Structure 1
Amino acid sequence: MSTATGLSPEVLAKYQAVIGLEVHCQLLTKTKAFCGCKNEYGGEPNTHTCPTCLGLPGALPVLNRQAVEFAVLASKAVNCTINERSVFARKNYFYPDSPKGYQISQFDKPLSEHGHLMVTGPDGQPKKIGITRIHMEDDAGKSIHDGFADSVRRTYIDLNRAGTPLIEIVSEPDLRSADEVFEYLTKLKEILLYTGVSDCNMEEGSLRCDANVSVMLKSDWEARGTAAYGTKAEVKNVNSFRYIRSAVEYEIERQISVIEEGGRVVQESRLWNSAEGRTYSMRSKEEAHDYRYFPEPDLPALIVGEEWLKNILSNLPELPEARRARLTSEYGLNAQDAATLTTDRELGDFFQQAAKLAKSPKRVASILLSEITMRLRAAEIELGQSPVSLNGLVLAADLTEAGEISSKQLKQLLDTCFTEGKDFSAIYERDKPQQISDTSAIEAMIDEVIAANPAQVAQFKGGKRTVSAFFVGQVMRASKGQANPALLNELVIKKLDA
């Protein structure tokens, strides 16, 4: 057995991967980081701009208060310590889509430090991944490359994105596999979405990740620890978590292959080609880039005092892990259902509101997960566009729990809701199915089915008790799905045993 790069599992087992991540997250503020321009995706090129985000002489930055509050919420959600005093700096570099010639960022005094997220380690136990720091900065513009029939390649600059508020979340080099990378990013995105600080839309560039990957011999790691870290390569511009996992897997194997062949891993930036399933060299980083950081002279130090911090953190919602634990203990949900209900904050909120009103929270969870979400996916709409309202879901759960409608009738009613775009309450009142719960009526139907199927009766008498399901199905068919399921099952067994 060999890998995509031709390495055997025995060779791969000799090496230890070391991975650190830099995640850039655009904040969902109404305006940009240091000016009043709209902070929104799209628009005609260079229309959401002003002298400040265009870097024109004399224009001065003014810090967006909401951007600070969002950055603090994100920091606290990943267990960072918020620094009361942080300082903005100029990160100097020249690139066409950076009109100022520098980026306003934070350097030696970031907003927050020393956080962590938990992932699943190779032994199946929780593993802590350190977060070195979270700092604030503004985004650059966008270069648009275009080729023409005359073979002349042109580049256009759109500065609508220039000045968008960002946070950069820098992890410790604690990740050891592509699977850990995937889980870390998935949990981080989930948390950021819960806090509401970003939409995390990777296609629009709201969430971007660079992975620093290196490998070393496990024997060196055991002998020398962090001093044995290998030369790292940075994998940039990967636009999905699935591709990041593939890119990291490939890069680990590529570096091992280089070492095994007697070569030397070069410090560089590399790009992922999803069509070919491999990384390519982008540019060398043999020497650290000198950004010539110095404090931003036009911005004072950022002070997040005790009272302001307290007000900000009062808006921090219950986070996914805590909510999962509470749903299992408070409502008795199994771990899988609790996990599914909490992957999306809106879905979790919807469940909780319904669970407080319904007779059976478990029934609410079952209908929401197995019936509603399935139809939402089929219709390609979001939960907020569902024709079934909160009260409609509660009514459906209560009727099903009380046995007043069968699961088959529930499905039929929900199908009608989604077909006609009407709430469950209205469809139920109009098409109210009559469930047969009269014992004598059900017994009469059972007697007819038993009389018509002596072979199946003999099988049941011979010990094949599962054949009772056949009789239940036949009676359900005869009753057009209106027989009370619980009562029907009970009466079928009673009749067959007699």
Structure 2
Amino acid sequence: MTAQAVQTDEHAVVIGLEVHVQLETATKIFCGCSTAADADEEPNSRTCPVCLGLPGALPVLNEGAVEAAVKIGKALSAEIPERTTFHRKNYYYPDLPKNFQLTQYDAPICQEGELEISVEGDRREIGITRAHLEEDPGSLQHKGGSIDTAEATLINYNRAGTPLVEIVTEPDFRSPAETRAFLAKLEEVLEYLGVFDATRDGSLRVDANISLVDAEEVDDAGEIDDSVLEDANRTEVKNISSHKAAEKALAYEVSRQKNAVKRGRALETETRHWDESRGITVSMRSKESEADYRYFREADLPPLEVADWKEKIEIPELPDARRERFVAEYGLDSESASKLTSTKEVADFFEAVAEEFDPDVAATWVADNLLGELNYRDMLITDIEGRLDEFSRLIELVESDELTVKNAEEVVLRSMLDDGDDPETIIDREGLGKADDDAIADFVTEAIDENPDAVDDYHSGEDGALNFLVGQVMQKSQGSADPGSVNQLLREELDA
């Protein structure tokens, strides 16, 4: 097994990730406590003897969490063994109420997968070492400062026991930018699977391992032997909570390590905390080794066997496959196909519209008009769930020549999103019915008669004169005329 790296001057950068994904289940992984967090909930109110680790409490595995893990394994083209086991990972953190974490060790539910990423047109496979189920610790709130300056730290166990899948990659990343691309792609896949909600606070958290090795150890294919990596001092950076933060944290850490080497200082094998507010990493402790965790089998959970039902668990069409199908089936360009498959909900919405209208028309309205207006308002496609018929009606009014494209885009669609009204209500209220041909012809004549200077400029070949006259007609029609038709009528009158 080898790792890929990018050569930069005297050193090559090698990065591997541990991604903690919060699964979307109704209850926690080993008990019946709810995973639904209310904004105003009291600390330590969603707890029970099991997730608090009280004496005598016994865990019961959540079937939904197992199903979600199997789906993730299939999406990552991973091996899913017939039998897997749980272990206790023993270490002290204040947010681990029982002083150990129930996790998987030498028999994870997903093994040896991969995920393809693209960075600046370069497509590569990132190896997935493993993905395993485990329980989330609680959460800490540092009062009066950050982790190293706080006056006090409060502990909330409401999150303790929330089901996680930890996805561990090979050290295949060549740069911080590649880690950002990977996390974005992974999140996209997880949302398509329906096992993950990116809007939840702390739903995806990242630990990154960074090493510098001599550039001479990188072969012509950009690979590094495992023996070299084993001898390298590895720094772990924790508390990374977003794609952007991952790129920033790793860029800082790579720079810090290179500067240390230039100054002749040895790099320590340590765990560092990413302080996002200050944009720096802070040393926390020396890096634990595997032996420090004293893994041993969890006696209260029998081996998990999924052989009889893992093949029955189906996964939906994933983003890359759907993107390729949109290009082939609907004749879309790659950029439009990417926009329209950015989330499963967007892709579903487009396909519903494409059933009623030409695919090019549907793509323009959904990818350009609708998504653009939603992004401007910080809204998601799910915020207009149930309004597909209204949106389709808007397109129908334009296609049937009852409403101008300009009024549809700039007035009706925006009002639909801002006020929640249907197209007909907005059209009636704003008086946006399309003007008839006779009325437009009258507006054209009036614009020519009232603006002789612009007419002279047009005949002199000035490009802006015609646009000015079009604007005058549009103003007279209160936007109800079609700009293309107005342009044509003006040319006919002026050239007669």
TM-score (norm 1): 0.87
1:310 alignment counterpart = 311
1:75 alignment counterpart = 73
Opposite residue 414 of structure 1, the aligned amino acid is L
1:98 Cα shift? Answer: 2.1
The answer on whether the counterparts of 2:273 and 2:283 sit within 8 Å (CA) in structure 1 is: yes
2:233 alignment counterpart = 231
Aligned pair count reads: 479
1:397 alignment counterpart = 395
The answer on whether the counterparts of 1:211 and 1:236 sit within 8 Å (CA) in structure 2 is: yes
2:242 alignment counterpart = 240
1:257 Cα shift? Answer: 1.4
1:89 alignment counterpart = 87
Change (3 A) 1:91 1:286: closer
1:142 alignment counterpart = 139
1:360 Cα shift? Answer: 3.1
Instruction: Pick the aligned partner of 1:254 from 241, 250, 256.
Output: 256
1:17 Cα shift? Answer: 0.8
1:6 alignment counterpart = none
1:216 Cα shift? Answer: 1.9
What SS does structure 2 have at the residue aligned with 1:81?
A: coil
- What CA deviation, in whole Å up to 9, does each residue of 1:439-489 have, x standing for no partner? x55344334434444554454445555643233222222222222333223
- Aligned-residue Cα RMSD (Å) equals 2.8
Specify every segment of 5 or more residues in structure 1 that has no aligned partner in the other structure, as ranges. 1-10
Change (3 A) 1:201 1:488: closer
Opposite residue 228 of structure 2, the aligned amino acid is A
What SS does structure 2 have at the residue aligned with 1:492?
A: helix
- What CA deviation, in whole Å up to 9, does each residue of 1:88-141 have, x standing for no partner? 11212233332333211111111011211122256x321111111111111222
Distance 2:454 2:348 in 1: 49
1:36 matches 2:32: yes
Instruction: Pick the aligned partner of 1:298 from 297, 300, 305.
Output: 300
Distance 1:343 1:213 in 2: 30
Opposite residue 130 of structure 1, the aligned amino acid is G
What SS does structure 2 have at the residue aligned with 1:127?
A: strand
1:280 Cα shift? Answer: 1.5
- What CA deviation, in whole Å up to 9, does each residue of 1:376-425 have, x standing for no partner? 45655544444982111111112223332112321222344345432224
The answer on whether the counterparts of 1:400 and 1:406 sit within 8 Å (CA) in structure 2 is: yes
1:469 alignment counterpart = 467
- What CA deviation, in whole Å up to 9, does each residue of 1:172-230 have, x standing for no partner? 1000101101000111111112211121346x222110010112232222389324333
The answer on whether the counterparts of 2:114 and 2:125 sit within 8 Å (CA) in structure 1 is: yes
Change (3 A) 1:447 1:13: farther
The answer on whether the counterparts of 2:132 and 2:166 sit within 8 Å (CA) in structure 1 is: yes
2:122 alignment counterpart = 125
Distance 1:430 1:460 in 2: 36
Distance 2:150 2:18 in 1: 35
1:414 alignment counterpart = 413
Instruction: Pick the aligned partner of 2:164 from 166, 169, 181.
Output: 166
- What CA deviation, in whole Å up to 9, does each residue of 1:238-261 have, x standing for no partner? 222212111101111111112222
2:339 alignment counterpart = 340
Opposite residue 27 of structure 2, the aligned amino acid is T
1:16 alignment counterpart = 12
Distance 1:257 1:152 in 2: 29
Change (3 A) 1:282 1:452: same
Distance 1:415 1:473 in 2: 21
1:368 alignment counterpart = 366
Opposite residue 125 of structure 2, the aligned amino acid is K
Q: Which stretch shows the higher mean deviation, 484-493 or 394-403?
A: 484-493
1:220 matches 2:217: yes
What SS does structure 2 have at the residue aligned with 1:225?
A: strand
The answer on whether the counterparts of 1:404 and 1:484 sit within 8 Å (CA) in structure 2 is: no
The answer on whether the counterparts of 1:62 and 1:299 sit within 8 Å (CA) in structure 2 is: yes
1:8 alignment counterpart = none
Change (3 A) 1:352 1:60: same
* Identical-pair percentage: 42
1:211 matches 2:213: no
Change (3 A) 1:387 1:231: closer
1:324 alignment counterpart = 323
Q: Which stretch shows the higher mean deviation, 271-280 or 178-187?
A: 271-280
The answer on whether the counterparts of 2:127 and 2:172 sit within 8 Å (CA) in structure 1 is: yes
Opposite residue 13 of structure 1, the aligned amino acid is D
Specify every segment of 5 or more residues in structure 2 that has no aligned partner in the other structure, as ranges. 1-6
What SS does structure 2 have at the residue aligned with 1:222?
A: coil
Change (3 A) 1:485 1:147: closer
Change (3 A) 1:447 1:168: same
Change (3 A) 1:388 1:444: farther
2:4 alignment counterpart = none
What SS does structure 1 have at the residue aligned with 2:390?
A: helix
Change (3 A) 1:428 1:217: same
1:310 Cα shift? Answer: 2.8
1:231 Cα shift? Answer: 1.7
Change (3 A) 1:96 1:278: closer
What SS does structure 1 have at the residue aligned with 2:167?
A: strand
Change (3 A) 1:29 1:260: same
The answer on whether the counterparts of 2:405 and 2:482 sit within 8 Å (CA) in structure 1 is: no
1:27 alignment counterpart = 23
Instruction: Pick the aligned partner of 1:54 from 52, 55, 59.
Output: 52
Change (3 A) 1:66 1:466: same
TM-score (norm 2): 0.88
- What CA deviation, in whole Å up to 9, does each residue of 1:289-331 have, x standing for no partner? 521222222212111124x123221xx2222222222223333
